[in-house]
Structure 1
């Protein structure tokens, strides 16, 4: 989960439904997370999205994780419950997580601490997870040039809300990476989306659309049902070509575009100083 600059109302600014849902699932506590756009409601699929095992991941996902691992230490932006941190940890790759949700950070820390304890008890070499930090992706709590790669998947780059906003975010990713830095981001291509895509908003510009929804977490506390309602999240959806436009004026160039499935989702691998053009 990552920060959005959509100006939440005072009543929802501190709400953290996604983080609470992650922590509840981790601790095997009841509750339901949903995505809501008006009357359109979808299940949050917490187990599938944030706690899935690597065996269920698409081959393209594992390929990207492997490629990023070559540029450790990695900064996993919007790390959520830490599933990718744990994957790298198993392979002895140094990775740091950051998430705007303090409850997601707590969840990821608890999961990573369990793994670290298991590694110590087995006398395994301790390298792995370098920590999980609470912070805003637009102002990362990481020193300049501190990491070799930024991994920011989950389409949170769309929270820049415009190509200019995405460009600002890419500049922040450039700040925290070294001179040979790599970044992986993802988004949805509007030209490949179905009409029932949750929260879809059209735009007259080619290769551009928008997405709006909010999250709700419902749980029972002391015999009473409580509903945690988050702020409205506003994403820019853009084609790979339009996302490449956002790299203009930054140190990044596109090294690779990967279509990951049939619903318009894709990932973009960016590198500093690469002028050879993207590979498919």
Structure 2
């Protein structure tokens, strides 16, 4: 039987709004991710509301490292921005989801609607840019990473830090391994993902995301305005600190 495609809309923002309306209670809303091979994953959206004292150690370390004027890229519901504010730091959030921006603002974050490629014209420059919650995945892959890194540099002041978390794609899951093998056969990095958010009858546009191992990250950054200062690994997860070079 034929079925209709979901309507294009802010599915991610709706997920956060539903979770926030239920006081971010566990199980109040699920984030649903659809991959382009049909794989569906659902996870509790309450993690986007994690309080500062319950952040993962790598996230907590990132919050401590960030200084000066800070941009939280992919602010979501504001969990990292609120932790920064609780430490007395000056932070602006950026997100392309209107619903996410609305939730973050309701929680007290200076959140702006926009993206790395299309930020608000008056957003200014920053001393530290954060890509937390595995948002190093926004580098997308070898084809798009140079452009993304250049856009990030255009938002950065001299000597600024880019502080992000990522995840190595290594896995024992058979479905994920098959997807990664398909990537390799087509000349892509194993951790590249084509996916979209779903919520009810809504779906976002398809977008590219990257799970990059540390060696892949170093290769992506090599010909960019950034250089890798340090990487701290914790299992499959890692925290990378990059510094803007003169360019």
Q: Map 1:40-51 to 2 at 5 A.
A: 40-48=39-47, 50-51=48-49
Q: Is the 8 Å Cα contact of residues 159 and 233 (structure 1) preserved in structure 2?
A: no
| From 85, 109, 113, the counterpart of 1:134 | 113
User: In structure 2, what is the equivalent of residue 20 of structure 1?
Assistant: 14
Does residue 75 in structure 1 map to residue 34 in structure 2?
no
User: In structure 1, what is the equivalent of residue 194 of structure 2?
Assistant: 212
In structure 1, distance between residues paired with 2:195 and 2:176: 8
Shift of 1:18: 1.2
Q: Map 1:250-269 to 2 at 5 A.
A: 250-260=224-234, 262=235, 264-269=236-241
Does residue 102 in structure 1 map to residue 98 in structure 2?
yes
Given the superposition, is the C-alpha separation of residues 25 and 242 from structure 1 closer, same or farther in structure 2, using an over 3 Å criterion?
same
Q: Is the 8 Å Cα contact of residues 188 and 266 (structure 1) preserved in structure 2?
A: yes
In structure 2, distance between residues paired with 1:169 and 1:209: 17
1:37-69 C-alpha deviation (Å, 9 max, x unpaired): 455433231002x0112332222221111011x
- TM-score, length of structure 2 as denominator length: 0.82
Shift of 1:267: 2.5
Aligned-residue Cα RMSD (Å) equals: 2.8
User: In structure 1, what is the equivalent of residue 62 of structure 2?
Assistant: 64
In structure 2, distance between residues paired with 1:81 and 1:144: 19
Shift of 1:155: 3.3
Shift of 1:24: 1.4
Q: Is the 8 Å Cα contact of residues 198 and 211 (structure 1) preserved in structure 2?
A: no
Shift of 1:109: 0.3
| From 33, 38, 41, the counterpart of 2:31 | 33
Give the 3-state SS of the residue equivalent to 1:187 in structure 2. Answer: strand
The structure number with the bigger radius of gyration is 1
Shift of 1:91: 1.7
Query: Gaps spanning 5+ residues in structure 1: where?
Result: 1-9, 113-128, 219-226, 275-280
